[in-house]
C-alpha cells in the first residue's frame, strides 16, 4: 500500500492511497513503483467496499474471512481436508548431513557395504546415531524415538534399536578403512596441516559393581579370538561354538539383539573361563584383563571400572582418530601403537606432541624413528637427572607471550630442553601452596603437647591428604613440623614446566607454543564428555563400547569442522540451526513438507561451510492419502 501526499494552497494536506508494487527496470538497474489501483483520498475511504474486496480476494485464494472477532481471522475453505500435521527441527540434521556428504562419508560407507549382504540403510542408521550424538545425545533406544518423533533426516524415517546395534557392530568391523578414508577427505577439504599431531588419553567410568571377566589380549589391548575347538577342552568347545553360533546367527540374521548379547556373553565368558583355566597362554597374548576394569581414573572415580580412550588431534583441533584400551592400561606405551597405526597414512614429517605420561626413553626412540620428531613434557618433580640439570642451569628467559617466558638450557647432546615459565600460573601456585601451609600449620599447632599415640593418629589423618602431607616433616622424636626445605623446593617450580625435543630446527618459542596447543585435545575431551555425552555408556559388551566411542568421534569431527570453518562454537551453531523447522501438510491431494525461513546466523553458517540451504518445499507427494 502506497501513500502520497499533496499540499493545497491553503496549507492543508491531502493523503491518497494506492495499491502498488515494485518492478525491476533492467535498463535503469533500479526498481520502479507501478500503481495497480487507486483507492482515492484517505479521509474519504469507503471502508466497507475495501472489506468486500478483501473478502472476494480471500475466497478466490481458498480462504474465507471469519465472521466474528478474535485471533482466527480466516479459515481455509477452498482446500477441504488440508491439515498441518507435524513440525520438527531440521536445521541441525540438514547441515550435518550435507557436511557428512561433503566429506564423502556416505559414499565411503556405501562402498564398504557394497560387497557384503549388509542392508544399504546401514549408512542412514549410522548417520542418525552420529547426528543424535551431536544434537540430542541419548541411548540408542532413545535415539530411535528421537528419529521417529523429534527430527527430520532425509532418507530414513524410523529404525529399531536392533538395527542400531547391527550398524554399530559393522562400524567397528570397518573402523580402519573408515578412519583412513575420513582423514584423507578431511585433509583435502580443510587443507590440514599435519606437521603436529597431539595425542592424549582420558578415562570414562561405568556405574557397575563388578569389572568384566578377564580375557587374553594382544599388546594393543584387543581381545584375542577364541582358540579352535580341537585345542580346547569340551567345555570351551561347547561354549564357543554354541554361544557364538547362536549369538551371531540370531543377532545378525534375525536382528535380535538378545541373541547377539546372549551369544557373546554366554559363549565367550563360559568358553574363555573354562578354556583358559588350564594355564595355557594363547599365541600373541600380552595380558589377561577385562575391558571394563579398575585403573587410575582421570575422573577421580578409582572405585568404578573404566576404559581408557585415546585421541589424536591436529593443530587445528580436528580429531583424526580415536582408540580404546582396557581400564588398567598405562599411558606410556600407547603412543607407540598410535604412531604405528598411522604410519601408512599420507603424512609427511610429523612432530608428536604429548604430555608427561609419554616421556619414556623407549617412546622417544620410537617417535623419532623415520625422521619424525616429538615435543614431550618432562616431570619436574620426577627427580630425573635431566630435570635436575635443567633447573640448575642459569640463563635469561625470553618473553614469548604476556603469560609465557621460555629459556633453552643445554643438558644433552642429542636432545634440547626448554624451561617454560608462566607468571600468572606462578602466582596461582604460590597462593594455593600458602593455603595448604596455613591449613597444615593449624592442624599441627599444639601437637607437641599431645601424647605420642595422639600425634601418630594426627599424622595418619594428614597422610590421607596428599596436598598437606607433602609439606609435613616428622622429627626423630616424633614431633610434627612444617618442612621448610620442601616448601622452598616447591617455590622454585612455581609456574614452570619442562619440555624436551630432538628437533634441531624448531625455535624455543615454536616448541613452547606447540606444546600449549595440547589444550586442543583437552578441549576435545571436555566437549566429548559434556556436549556429546560420551558418558553414561549404555552398553556392557566390549565391541559396543568401542563402537559408541567411534560414534562420539564422528560427531566431534563434524562439530569441529563447523567451528573451524564458521568461526563459532558448536553450542551456538546448534542453537541457531535447530530453529529451522520443517512443517508437514497433508490433504486429499497428497502431502508436502515446507521449511521455515532460516535465521541470518543459520544462513551465514551454510555460506561459511559452502553448503546449500534446504529448499522451501522440501518434499512433495501428490499421491492421495499419502
The tens digit of pLDDT for each residue in 120-175 reads: 899 999 999 999 999 999 999 999 999 999 999 999 999 999 999 999 999 999 99
Choose the final residue of a domain: 19, 50, 74. Answer: 74
Q: How many CB atoms lie within 10 A of CB 454?
A: 11
Does 539 reside within a domain?
no
- Alpha carbons 197 and 187: distance in angstroms, whole number: 13
pLDDT at residue 569 greater than cutoff 80: yes
**Residue 619: its H or E element:** strand 617-621
In a domain, 267, yes or no: no
Domain boundary among 491, 515, 535: 491
Q: Does residue 12 lie in a domain region?
A: yes
| 341 lies in some domain | no
Q: Using CA of residue 109, residue 114, residue 117, residue 120, what is the dihedral sign?
A: positive
- Tell which wins on pLDDT, 623 or 241: 623
Domain for residue 304, yes or no?
A: no
Give the per-residue pLDDT at 68. Answer: 54
> Which of helix, strand or coil describes residue 202?
strand
Q: Work out the average pLDDT over 45-50.
A: 78
pLDDT of 58 reads: 67
d(CA 123, CA 120): 6
Q: Return d(Cα 427, Cα 440) in angstroms, integer.
A: 20
CA gap 466, 457 in Å, rounded: 16
pLDDT (0 to 100) of residue 583: 94
Per-residue confidence (pLDDT) for residue 496, from 0 to 100: 92
H/E element, 222: none
Which of 460, 491, 522 corresponds to the end of one domain? 491
Q: Considering the domain boundaries, does residue 89 fall inside one?
A: no
- The residue-averaged pLDDT of 23-50 equals 78
Q: How many folded domains does the chain comprise?
A: 2
Give the residue from 66, 86, 67 showing the smallest Cα distance to 76: 66
In a domain, 31, yes or no: yes
Q: Would 26 be classed as within a structural domain?
A: yes
Place of cell 520438527: 88
DSSP 13: E
Q: How far apart are CA 139 and CA 221, in angstroms?
A: 26
Integer Cα distance of 96 and 530 in angstroms: 19
What's the pLDDT band for 214 if we cut at 50, 70, 90? very high
pTM here is 0.75
Angle, nearest 10°, between helix axes 600-609 and 91-102? Answer: 10
Regarding beta strands 398-401 and 63-65, do their DSSP bridges make them parallel or antiparallel, or are they unpaired?
unpaired
Residue 442: domain span: 425-491
Amino acid at each position: 500500500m502506497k501513500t502520497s501526499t499533496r499540499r493545497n494552497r491553503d496549507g492543508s494536506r491531502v493523503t491518497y492511497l494506492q495499491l502498488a508494487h515494485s518492478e525491476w527496470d533492467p535498463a535503469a538497474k533500479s526498481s520502479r513503483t507501478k500503481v495497480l489501483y487507486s483507492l482515492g483520498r484517505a479521509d474519504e475511504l469507503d471502508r466497507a467496499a475495501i472489506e468486500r474486496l478483501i473478502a472476494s480476494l480471500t475466497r478466490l485464494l481458498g480462504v474465507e474471512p471469519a465472521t466474528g472477532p478474535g485471533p482466527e481471522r480466516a479459515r481455509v475453505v477452498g482446500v477441504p481436508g488440508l491439515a498441518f500435521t507435524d513440525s520438527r527441527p531440521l536445521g541441525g540434521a540438514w547441515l550435518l548431513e550435507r557436511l557428512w556428504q561433503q566429506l564423502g562419508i556416505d559414499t565411503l560407507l556405501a562402498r564398504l557395504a557394497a560387497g557384503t549382504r549388509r542392508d544399504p540403510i546401514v549408512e542412514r542408521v549410522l548417520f542418525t546415531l552420529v547426528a543424535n550424538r551431536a544434537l540430542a545425545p541419548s541411548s540408542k533406544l532413545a535415539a530411535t524415538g528421537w528419529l521417529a518423533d523429534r527430527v527430520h533426516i532425509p532418507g530414513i524415517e524410523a529404525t529399531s534399536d536392533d538395527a542400531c546395534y547391527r550398524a554399530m557392530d559393522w562400524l567397528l568391523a570397518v573402523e580402519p578403512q573408515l578412519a583412513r578414508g575420513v582423514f584423507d577427505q578431511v585433509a583435502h577439504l580443510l587443507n590440514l596441516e599435519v606437521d603436529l599431531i597431539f595425542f592424549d588419553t582420558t578415562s570414562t567410568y561405568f556405574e557397575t559393581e563388578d569389572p568384566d571377566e578377564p580375557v587374553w589380549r594382544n599388546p594393543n589391548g584387543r581381545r584375542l579370538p577364541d582358540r579352535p575347538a580341537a585345542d580346547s577342552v569340551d567345555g570351551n568347545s561347547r561354549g564357543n561354538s554354541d554361544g557364538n553360533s547362536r549369538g551371531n546367527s540370531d543377532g545378525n540374521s534375525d536382528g535380535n539383539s538378545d541373541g547377539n548379547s546372549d551369544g557373546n556373553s554366554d559363549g565367550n565368558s563360559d568358553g574363555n573361563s573354562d578354556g583358559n583355566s588350564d594355564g595355557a597362554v594363547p599365541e600373541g597374548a600380552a595380558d589377561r584383563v577385562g575391558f571394563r576394569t579398575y585403573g587410575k581414573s582421570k575422573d577421580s572415580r578409582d572405585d568404578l571400572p573404566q576404559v581408557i580412550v585415546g585421541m589424536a588431534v591436529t593443530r587445528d583441533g580436528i580429531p583424526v582418530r580415536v582408540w580404546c584400551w582396557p581400564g588398567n592400561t598405562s599411558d606410556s606405551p600407547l603412543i607407540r601403537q598410535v604412531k604405528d597405526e598411522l604410519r601408512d597414512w599420507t603424512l609427511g614429517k610429523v612432530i608428536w606432541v604429548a604430555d608427561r605420561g609419554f616421556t619414556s626413553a623407549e617412546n622417544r626412540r620410537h617417535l623419532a624413528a623415520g625422521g619424525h620428531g616429538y615435543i614431550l613434557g618432562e616431570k619436574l618433580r620426577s627427580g630425573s637427572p635431566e630435570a635436575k640439570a635443567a633447573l640448575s642451569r642459569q640463563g635469561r628467559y625470553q618473553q614469548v607471550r604476556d603469560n609465557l617466558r621460555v629459556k633453552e638450557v643445554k643438558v644433552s647432546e642429542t636432545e634440547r630442553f626448554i624451561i617454560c615459565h608462566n607468571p600468572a600460573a606462578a602466582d596461582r601456585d604460590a597462593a594455593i601452596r600458602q593455603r595448604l601451609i596455613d591449613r597444615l600449620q593449624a592442624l599441627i599447632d599444639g601437637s607437641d603437647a599431645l601424647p605420642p599415640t595422639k600425634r601418630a593418629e594426627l599424622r595418619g589423618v594428614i597422610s590421607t591428604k596428599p596436598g598437606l602431607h607433602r609439606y609435613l616433616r616428622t622429627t626423630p622424636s616424633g614431633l610434627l613440623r612444617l618442612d621448610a626445605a620442601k616448601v622452598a623446593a616447591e617455590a622454585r617450580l612455581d609456574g614452570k614446566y619442562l619440555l624436551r625435543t630432538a628437533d634441531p630446527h624448531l625455535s624455543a618459542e615454536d616448541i613452547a607454543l606447540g606444546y600449549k596447543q595440547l589444550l586442543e585435545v583437552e578441549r576435545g575431551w571436555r566437549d566429548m564428555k559434556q556436549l556429546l555425552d560420551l558418558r553414561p555408556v549404555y552398553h556392557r559388551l566390549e565391541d559396543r563400547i568401542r563402537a559408541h566411542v567411534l560414534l562420539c568421534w564422528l560427531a566431534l569431527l563434524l562439530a569441529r569442522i563447523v567451528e573451524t570453518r564458521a568461526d563459532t562454537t558448536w553450542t551456538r551453531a546448534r542453537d541457531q540451526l535447530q530453529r529451522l523447522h520443517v512443517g508437514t501438510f497433508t490433504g486429499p491431494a497428497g502431502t508436502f513438507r515446507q521449511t521455515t525461513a532460516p535465521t541470518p546466523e543459520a544462513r551465514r553458517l551454510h555460506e561459511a561451510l559452502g553448503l546449500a540451504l534446504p529448499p522451501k518445499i522440501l518434499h512433495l507427494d501428490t499421491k492421495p492419502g499419502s
